[in-house]
Structure 1
Amino acid sequence: MIQPLSDTELVIFDCDGVLVDSEPISAAVLIAELARLGLTITPDYVRDQCLGRSFPTVARGIRAAFDIALPEDFEQRYRSALLARFATELRPTAGVGAVLDRLRPAKCVATSSSPQRVARSLEIAGLAPVFGADVFTASQVARGKPAPDLFLFAAERMRADPARTLVIEDSRPGVEAAEAAGMQVLVFTGGGHRPVPPPGVGSFDNWRDFPQVLLTADEG
């Protein structure tokens, strides 16, 4: 049984769209790289079919939906273009640093991104020291989101009870994964891509509205 929020012992943060405002950049790069192949996709397609999923899953979906054979080096080209833009454009979501500084429970990252991408994202955003080695990716489990594997793996590694774990997400697959893991979940909607939370799922669009019961007193 999921425990009250006040009993939370671990907060799992998704990375893209939660800790860093990366989703608009990612969408723009994917759209541009596919356009080079003569394929037009829309931001709505990216939001509905790509958000919260690993790149191999996204690529499989594109191949199936558009009956297109992606070049063998497509993933590498996409990642190179993405990281180049991250270097100059990526920022942490506004206000997240203050929440991380005051968070009472343990914290970690669990993301569908590749290990290289999440490491670079956290480094650019200045958040790498906050999480240290407590960063987990879909490459470490058999099934990515919306399966619960990644969140359960993270909780196990952090020695936390899933029923006392809160997940902060921005995507429907992430929400479904958290619920399947028996964890509480909130949707952060303050990223530039403006995600819409599934019906019945709590949300907030400003880190000032993060549950105060999980934070130490503000000395400022």
Structure 2
Amino acid sequence: MSVLRAVLFDMDGVLLKSEEAWAHVVAAAGVHFRGSPVTREEFAPTFGQGTQADTEVFRLGCSPEALDRFYTEHFPRYAQHVWVNPDARPLLETLGRRGLRRAVVTNTASTLAPALLGAGHLAELFECIACANLVPRSKPAPDLVLYALEKLGVAASEAVMVGDSRYDRGAAAAAGVRFVGLGLDGDVRIEQLGALLAHLPPWDSNAQ
């Protein structure tokens, strides 16, 4: 592997956890668009799949754009359910001091992701926030990972991606990026985000 220059992170489940908040807002979307709430049984196996898939899997009968607008309008009322990983900020600050570039790669729309990261005081620590509505296909397609690599100016061989779902692992594999699984098998597996530093390949100590 080339010298490490960048670390890409999934947002939800890695830097923060908003599944409980999303369960509420997706249930409300079901009521609004199809006349009945999306149940926990429907929601649980699909969390993190992206807005396009939400419209199809939950048979909402609306466009992804309309659903994104609904999510943006209604998510803030459930923001109290969002948990921020206490390991995230110290880790990101350390990576920055080492000259490594940092990106978020998330299936959340750009109307919501910066606000979520900002609430956790994390947004300013990233050089790139790659969101699903900025590319043709969300994870597990490679589009978001490739978008982030281009924005950071690094090659796939110079990056690693940290994620906690099969969508993350699939996107990293499709883009040719080494994958670190948080509670998930990958090229490397870690159980806590703070353990990442011990598993990173060599980085360029002269990077700017």
* TM-score for both structures, normalised by structure 1: 0.77
Alignment of 1:107-118 (within 5 A): 107-118=102-113
| Offset, 1:171 | 1.8
1:203 to 183, 189, 197: 189
CA distance in 1, matches of 2:156, 2:136: 19
Deviations for 1:70-117, whole angstroms, at most 9, x for unmatched residues?
59965544433322221x332321211111111132111121111110
Higher RCO by CA contacts (8 Å cutoff, separation 6 or greater)? 1
What is the alpha-carbon distance in structure 2 between the residues aligned to residue 175 and residue 93 of structure 1?
20
Pair 1:77–1:141, CA change in 2 (3 A): closer
What is the rounded CA distance, in whole Å, between the counterparts of 1:73 and 1:141 in structure 2? Answer: 17
The percent identity for this pair of structures is 24
Alignment partner, residue 124 of structure 1: 119
What is aligned with 1:59? 55
CA apart distance, 1:209: 1.5
The residue type equivalent to 1:41 in the other structure is T
Q: d(CA) in 2 for partners of 1:158 and 1:33?
A: 35
Measure how far apart 1:200 and its partner are: 5.2
Which blocks of at least 5 consecutive residues in structure 2 are unaligned? 204-208
Alignment of 1:1-220 (within 5 A): 3=1, 7-34=3-30, 37-43=35-41, 45-49=42-46, 51-63=47-59, 69=61, 75-86=68-79, 88-103=80-95, 104=98, 105-131=100-126, 134-189=128-183, 197=184, 202-212=188-198, 214=200
- Residue 125 of structure 1, CA deviation: 0.7
Cα distance in 2 for residues equivalent to 1:200 and 1:137: 23
Q: Tell me if structure 2 keeps the 8 A contact 1:90–1:125.
A: no
Normalized against structure 2, the TM-score is what? 0.81
Q: Distance in 2 between matches of 1:62 and 1:139?
A: 19
Q: Which runs of 5+ in 1 are unaligned?
A: 190-196
Q: Deviations over 1:173-220 (max 9, x none)?
A: 12101001000111224xxxxxxx3x555332322321326499xxxx
Q: Which amino acid aligns with 2:40?
A: T
Question: Aligned-pair distance for 1:40?
Answer: 4.8
Contact 1:90–1:124 (CA<8 Å) still a contact in 2?
Answer: no
- Rounded to whole Å, the distance in 2 between the matches of 1:90 and 1:77 is 18
Q: 1:35 to 1:53 in 2, by over 3 A?
A: same
Secondary structure of the 2:17 match is coil
Q: Matched residue of 1:211: which SS?
A: helix
User: Residue 161 of structure 2 aligns to a residue in which SS?
Assistant: strand
